[in-house]
Amino acid sequence: MAFVSQSQRAPNESYTFASRPRPVENRSKYREPPSEQTHSNYGNIMYDRRVVRGNTYAQLIIPTTAQPDPVEAQRQQESRRRAIARKRAREQFISSTPEALQGRKHIDVQTELYLEELSDVIVATDVECQTDAFLDKPATPLFIPAKSGKDVETQIEEGELFDFDREVQPVLEVLVGKTIEQSLEEVMEEEELACLRAQQRAFEELRNNELAEVLRLQEQERRHSEEKGRRIAQQKEVLKKEKETAEKIAARAYTQQYLSDLLPAVFTSLRSHGYFYDPVEKDIENNFFPWLMAEVNNSLEKRYTARELLDTIIHDVTQKRLKMFKELETQ
Amino acid sequence: MAGYLIDPSRAPVAFGRRAVPQLFEELQQPEADRRLRALASLCDLMHDPERIYQTVNGGFLEQLKVLFEDEDSSVRTKTCELLHLMTAHSIGRQALLSSSLLPSLSQLVDDSSSSCRRNVHRVLNRLTLLPAGADALLALVPKLMLKLRGEEDEEEEEEEVQVLLLSTLSSCSRLDALPALASDGVSLLGHKLSHRSPNIRREAAAVMMALSVCEDGKLKVCEESLLPVLVDLLHDEDIEVQANAAGVIMYTVIITTGKQQCLDLDVIPILLELVSKKEEEEEEKERKSRKALVMYSLRALTALAEAPDGRRLLLEQLPLLLRRSEAAEEDHDIRRDAQTAVRVINWRP
């Protein structure tokens, strides 16, 4: 174990010791220190006896004197002796009897004449002592650690966390925006309709205008054509009348001419047909002559009858003669 | 999240694509209160064309049919308002036409609640913006005429309904004037022309203009001797009323009877005054209406110039019209009309 330490006495007789920090080697108490150096230069700090465990604020700081205090040493020896005694006492109670069998138990029994009560209860007397009633402890002063560092404070003013005007802006924008959008749509629609209507009206007016012109011209045409028709009809009438008159005149002239030598011809033909007659002559013709002819016929008939009679007689005679001649021939 | 609503009159709206389907599911709940809130939210959403497209494509319109027969009148009113918003766009109008909602909608015209009726009329009015819609509503015209007749003695609050009815009728009649004429529209409208409210006068004159396009209408106007009323309307304060009245006159003077009556009423100076009015500092809209008025008056004058009496009168006033037809006039159409008028006046047989 090489000490790498420096200890020197300062001129004012205070001892200083300084060494490089070095892990502690584990060494068992009962073992001979190993000849060689241990390999591990360090050990587990949890099991290092030199490390102070537990609260440190109530422990006495070990004085830095090297010489052990004689009182201290004596006290330590005493405590050592007590520990050994205690240990011996404990060892006494560790019996060397074998363990009990299963189901059985070892019990200490007194085998002396007079039984004594063995009890762990030690006769004791109670002694009380009481401290005085608690005095009112004055209030512990507030532990205010010493002030260190800068003082800083902060305070939230009235309008800082929430500014209404700024917060309400988006909401207002949406509301106003939507309203304006809707109204713009409606206005645009109305404008569009108004434009359409105006255009329609202009078109209608022009159409009416042209329609009126068309109708007027139509009417004019109709009137003109009617007028023309009427005039043509009138002309036709006139022509027809003229023609008729001409025909009439021609007819009249012709008939006049025709009729002019009709009269003598008529008279001639009438006379030739016997319409102009002399009544005596007519009478003679009508009455006298038929009678005369009838008489003549009568007389002629008589003559014929006579002649026929004669013929018949002659015929009879000849027949008879013939018959007679024939009879003569046969005889 | 459960019970707190920012706006208690609207149901909460889901995000993005889920909004419309979820609200329509909400509509099938038995409590009328929740349905009303869902309808209110839907009305808000339908201002966006994309949502309308989503509704139409998802086929949610058929669910509205059930709501038409709901007992609660505010639910019916809101449904009609929803349809009104949807018909603001063409896809909505087409979807409404192709679905089977029209018959039940036409039944709602006779509903008991006046606000519901008003909304139904709004829907019908918007529907006529589409020509196919006007076509589909032609079958409804007699019923609407009956409504108009029945509302003659109503108070002020029905004025809006009357205005809507009249404008629907004018759109339908522009397509085909026969149904309205058949239900004796001209005499009915003649009453309306002297109503105290300028809106009604304007719309009635517009319907009359649509009706007088066809031959029967013109004859009827002359028969009912509405021309004096119309000439009075030419002096009206509202420029649209003046324009529409000038339009009716313009159509009516095309037929000979009309010309005669108008010349009797000595309408030429009035029209000339309207044509030659100096344009002061006017806004865009007023200038447009004034343009219509001037155009119609010029056309009426052109038609009147075909009658010999009219031509004689107008020959004296020729310089005025010449001024209008000069290149100084910035409006093409007016210039063209004035040139036509001058040409007709100078025509010799």
Question: What does A202-244 look like in DSSP terms, one character per residue?
Answer: HHHHHHHHHHHHHHHHHHHHHHHHHHHHHHHHHHHHHHHHHHH
pLDDT tens for residues A204-243? 888 888 888 888 888 788 888 888 899 999 999 999 999 9
In a domain, B15, yes or no: yes
Select the residue of B47, B255, B291 nearest A189 (Cβ to Cβ).
Answer: B47
Inter-chain touch B333–A209, beta carbons under 8 Å: yes
Q: Could you give the CA distance from residue B179 to residue B216 in angstroms, rounded to a whole number?
A: 12
pLDDT for B295: 82
Inter-chain touch A216–B255, beta carbons under 8 Å: no
CA A242 to chain centroid, in Å, comes to: 89
Asked if residue A175 has pLDDT above 70, the reply is: yes
The residue with tokens 């004449």 is: A113
Residue B186 has which token pair?
A: 């001209």
At a CB cut-off of 8 Å and minimum separation 6, what does B180 contact? B141, B145, B169, B172, B173, B207, B211
Chain B residues within 8 A (CB-CB) of chain A? 44, 47-48, 88, 129, 174, 209, 213, 243, 247, 250-251, 254-256, 285, 288, 291-292, 295-296, 299, 302-303, 306, 333, 337, 340
Mean pLDDT, chain A, as a whole number?
Answer: 82
Q: Could you give the CA distance from residue A3 to residue B270 in angstroms, rounded to a whole number?
A: 142
Q: Could you give the CA distance from residue B240 to residue B37 in angstroms, rounded to a whole number?
A: 40
- Write the CA distances from A141 to A134, A137, A144, B30, integer angstroms: 19, 11, 8, 77
Q: Could you give the CA distance from residue A169 to residue A5 in angstroms, rounded to a whole number?
A: 78
Asked if residue A105 has pLDDT above 50, the reply is: yes
Q: Could you give the CA distance from residue A133 to residue A129 in angstroms, rounded to a whole number?
A: 12
Q: Could you give the CA distance from residue B103 to residue B81 in angstroms, rounded to a whole number?
A: 17
Long-range contacts of B234-240 (CB under 8 A, 24+ apart): B234/B267, B234/B270, B234/B271, B234/B274, B235/B270, B236/B198, B236/B201, B237/B198, B238/B198, B238/B201, B238/B202, B239/B286, B239/B289, B239/B290, B239/B293, B240/B198, B240/B202, B240/B289
In a domain, B296, yes or no: no
In a domain, B51, yes or no: yes
In a domain, B121, yes or no: yes
The answer to whether the beta carbons of residues B81 and B123 sit under 8 Å apart is no
Establish, for the pair of chains A and B, how many residue pairs have beta carbons separated by less than 8 Å: 56
For residue B93, the distance in angstroms to the closest alpha carbon of chain A comes to: 14
In a domain, B340, yes or no: no
β-bridge partners, A5 = A19
Among residues B87, B89, B151, which one has the least CA distance to residue B122?
Answer: B87
Residue-level length of chain A: 331
Residue A16 has which token pair?
A: 């200083």
Inter-chain touch B254–A216, beta carbons under 8 Å: yes
Asked if residue A299 has pLDDT above 90, the reply is: yes
Per-residue tens of pLDDT for chain B, all 349 residues: 445 666 778 888 888 888 888 888 888 888 888 888 888 888 888 888 888 888 888 888 888 888 888 888 888 888 888 888 888 888 888 888 888 888 888 888 877 778 888 888 888 888 888 888 888 888 888 888 887 777 655 554 577 888 888 888 888 888 888 888 888 888 888 888 877 788 888 888 888 888 888 888 888 888 888 888 888 888 878 888 888 888 888 888 888 777 788 887 888 888 877 777 655 545 666 777 778 888 888 888 888 888 888 888 888 877 777 776 665 556 777 788 888 888 888 877 6
- Write the CA distances from B35 to A210, A299, B17, B38, integer angstroms: 50, 144, 20, 5
For residue B251, the distance in angstroms to the closest alpha carbon of chain A comes to: 6
Q: Give me the residues of A, 195-224, that contact B with CB < 8 A.
A: 196, 198, 200-202, 204-206, 208-209, 211-213, 215-216, 218-220, 223
Element (H, E) at B172: helix B159-175
Most confident of A94-103, A299-308, B44-53: A299-308
Asked if residue A12 has pLDDT above 70, the reply is: no
The mean per-residue pLDDT over the stretch A137-150 comes to 81
Residue B54 has which token pair?
A: 């989503």
Among residues A68, A66, A70, which one has the least CA distance to residue A17?
Answer: A66
> Residue A319 half-sphere exposure, CB side, CA atoms within 13 Å?
6
pLDDT for B330: 63
Q: Enter the DSSP assignment of B153.
A: T
CB atoms within 10 A of CB B255: 21
Element (H, E) at A18: strand A15-19
- Write the CA distances from A267 to A278, A279, A282, A309, B17, integer angstroms: 16, 18, 19, 54, 122
- Write the CA distances from A88 to A74, A85, A122, B250, integer angstroms: 21, 5, 22, 151
Among residues B258, B255, B242, B254, which one has the least CA distance to residue B294?
Answer: B242
Contact residues, chain B, for A194 at CB < 8 Å: none
Q: Enter the DSSP assignment of B281.
A: S
Domain count, chain B: 1
- Write the CA distances from A221 to A29, A214, B157, B217, B218, integer angstroms: 151, 10, 48, 20, 17
Q: Could you give the CA distance from residue B160 to residue B167 in angstroms, rounded to a whole number?
A: 11
pTM of the shown model? 0.58
Residues of the domain holding B61: 10-136
β-bridge partners, A9 = A15
> Residue B264 half-sphere exposure, CB side, CA atoms within 13 Å?
10
Q: Could you give the CA distance from residue B344 to residue A34 in angstroms, rounded to a whole number?
A: 151
Q: Could you give the CA distance from residue B186 to residue B204 in angstroms, rounded to a whole number?
A: 10
β-bridge partners, A15 = A9
Dmax over CA atoms of chain B, in Å, equals 87
pLDDT for B29: 83
In a domain, B201, yes or no: no
Mutation choice for B interface testing from A200, A213, A214, A231 by most B CBs within 10 A: A213
Q: Could you give the CA distance from residue B275 to residue B317 in angstroms, rounded to a whole number?
A: 12
In a domain, B24, yes or no: yes
Q: Could you give the CA distance from residue B233 to residue B267 in angstroms, rounded to a whole number?
A: 12
Residue A102 has which token pair?
A: 């299963």
Select the residue of B129, B213, B295 nearest A209 (Cβ to Cβ).
Answer: B295
The residue with tokens 């109305």 is: A190
In a domain, B123, yes or no: yes
Least confident of A54-58, A277-281, B214-218, B328-332: B328-332
Select the residue of A185, A212, A215 nearest B48 (Cβ to Cβ).
Answer: A185
**CATH number of residue B112's parent domain:** 1.25.10.10
ipTM over 0.90: no
Q: Give me the residues of A, 170-189, that contact B with CB < 8 A.
A: 182, 185-186, 189
User: What phi and psi values does residue A272 have, to the nearest 5 degrees?
Assistant: -70, -25
